[in-house]
């Protein structure tokens, strides 16, 4: 671990000069930034301020990159993954990885993510079709994560609840976010409105199978935010009625026909839904179910 931290610190120390070097393609800078953020996110007991090395020169390059009007599909994808990693870190009480400047630029300028299959001239037509069909689902997922980020901003980690006025303000904010989340679900993409059997009926297996998996994960992500909001607004010892319904639907997805498991190994995308299910359950059977399912999430190399 000491060696890893030493290497990480050395990489951080040269990043500013790398990001300021105009001869280095900015896609490369973004890839390095993402790898550094992954490293920082996994370091133990590191809950400091946002990753400061992504300020200064990096912000200037990022602004120039967006203003140029020439962003590669890979670069835009990396930008989105930076946002998602930042939000995931925020949810556990950490300030996050990105400064407001970087986070704001990524949020304001990346609206659509182009397909990567366009870069592969030998891509199978089914892969290209899957990308087209799944693109709105990924957009939906990003929008849910944006709401999740705003929910994280009003948790007890960041928002005072000392006075009645404090609590009332948090409640007002969350009620607006609940409405936004509900409206987002009501306008969800067509594949999220179909069950697994219907998707199999309309698409060939090479498209239907990954689409079923993706739809299950995105639906569970939405339901997890319902549980998270209920956790903040509801009684500290009991899940809200809406949260209980969402938890049951999460369970139905995991135990159902949404390709949640492959050879008894559960998709790691269900880690957060199951974790919130477990801590919101006061029934032993429900808690044990969630724990058993969490144990089925294995490392990729296992």
Examine the domain organization and report whether 196 and 71 are in the same domain: no
Three-class DSSP labels, 147-176: HHHHHHCCCCCCCCCCCHHHHHHHHHHHHH
Mark which of 52, 79, 114 sits at the end of a domain. Answer: 114
Q: What's residue 10's pLDDT?
A: 77
Examine the domain organization and report whether 206 and 281 are in the same domain: yes
Summarize the confidence of residues 239-244 as an average pLDDT: 83
- Please check whether residue 119 lies inside any domain of the structure: no
Examine the domain organization and report whether 46 and 195 are in the same domain: no
Examine the domain organization and report whether 185 and 250 are in the same domain: yes
The range of the structural domain enclosing residue 5 comes to: 1-114
Q: What's residue 76's pLDDT?
A: 94
How far apart, in whole angstroms, are the C-alpha atoms of residue 113 and residue 140? Answer: 12
Cβ atoms of 188 and 196 within 8 Å: the answer is no
Cβ atoms of 132 and 115 within 8 Å: the answer is yes
Q: How many CB atoms lie within 10 A of CB 104?
A: 12
Which segment of 141-150, 171-180, 225-234, 277-286 scores lowest on mean pLDDT?
A: 225-234
Question: Quick one: pLDDT band at residue 302, thresholds 50, 70, 90?
Answer: very low
Mark which of 65, 81, 114 sits at the end of a domain. Answer: 114
49 conformational bin, left if phi > 0, alpha if psi -120 to 50, beta if neither: beta
Mark which of 114, 142, 172 sits at the end of a domain. Answer: 114
Examine the domain organization and report whether 299 and 163 are in the same domain: yes
Local structure of residue 262 (DSSP, 8 states): E
Q: What are the two backbone dihedrals, phi and then psi, of residue 113, each rounded to the nearest 5 degrees?
A: -110, 115
DSSP percent split of the chain into helix, strand, coil, nearest 5: 70, 0, 30
Summarize the confidence of residues 281-290 as an average pLDDT: 93
Strand, coil or helix: 112 = coil
Examine the domain organization and report whether 161 and 33 are in the same domain: no
Q: What's residue 46's pLDDT?
A: 55
Residue 296 CB partners (closer than 8 Å, separation 6+):
261, 264, 265, 266
Q: What's residue 49's pLDDT?
A: 54
- Please check whether residue 71 lies inside any domain of the structure: yes
Examine the domain organization and report whether 185 and 291 are in the same domain: yes
| pLDDT greater than 90 at residue 298 | no
| pLDDT greater than 70 at residue 121 | no
Residue 89 CB partners (closer than 8 Å, separation 6+):
41, 96, 97
Residue 187 CB partners (closer than 8 Å, separation 6+):
none
Residue 157 CB partners (closer than 8 Å, separation 6+):
93
Q: Give residue-wise pLDDT tens across range 97-114.
A: 888 899 999 999 998 887
- C-alpha torsion sign, points 154, 159, 164, 169: negative
Q: How many helices (H) and strands (E) does the chain have?
A: 12, 2
**How many independent structural domains does the chain possess?**
2
Examine the domain organization and report whether 270 and 196 are in the same domain: yes
């Amino acid at each position: 671990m000491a060696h890893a931290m030493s290497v990480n610190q050395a990489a951080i120390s040269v990043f500013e000069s790398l990001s300021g070097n105009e001869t280095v393609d900015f896609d490369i800078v973004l890839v390095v930034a993402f790898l550094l953020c992954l490293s920082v996110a996994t370091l133990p007991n590191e809950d400091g301020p946002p990753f400061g090395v992504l300020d200064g020169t990096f912000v200037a390059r990022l602004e120039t990159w967006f203003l140029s009007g020439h962003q590669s599909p890979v670069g835009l994808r990396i930008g989105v993954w930076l946002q998602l990693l930042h939000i995931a870190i925020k949810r556990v009480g950490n300030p996050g990885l990105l400064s407001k400047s970087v986070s704001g630029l990524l949020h304001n300028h990346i609206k659509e993510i182009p397909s990567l299959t366009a870069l592969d001239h030998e891509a199978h037509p089914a892969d290209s079709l899957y990308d087209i069909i799944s693109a709105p689902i990924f957009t939906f997922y990003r929008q849910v994560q944006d709401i999740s980020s705003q929910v994280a901003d009003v948790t007890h980690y960041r928002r005072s609840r000392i006075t009645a006025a404090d609590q009332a303000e948090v409640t007002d904010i969350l009620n607006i976010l609940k409405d936004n989340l509900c409206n987002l679900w009501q306008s969800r993409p067509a594949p999220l409105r179909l069950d697994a059997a219907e998707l199999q009926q309309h698409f060939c297996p090479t498209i239907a199978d990954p689409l079923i998996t993706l739809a299950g994960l995105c639906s569970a992500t939405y339901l997890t935010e319902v549980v998270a909001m209920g956790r903040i607004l509801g009684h500290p010892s009991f899940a809200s009625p809406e949260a209980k319904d969402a938890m049951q639907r999460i369970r139905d997805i995991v135990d159902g026909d949404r390709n949640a498991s492959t050879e008894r190994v559960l998709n790691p995308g269900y880690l957060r839904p199951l974790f919130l299910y477990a801590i919101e359950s006061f029934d032993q059977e429900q808690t044990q179910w969630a724990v058993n399912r969490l144990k089925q999430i294995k490392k990729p190399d296992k």
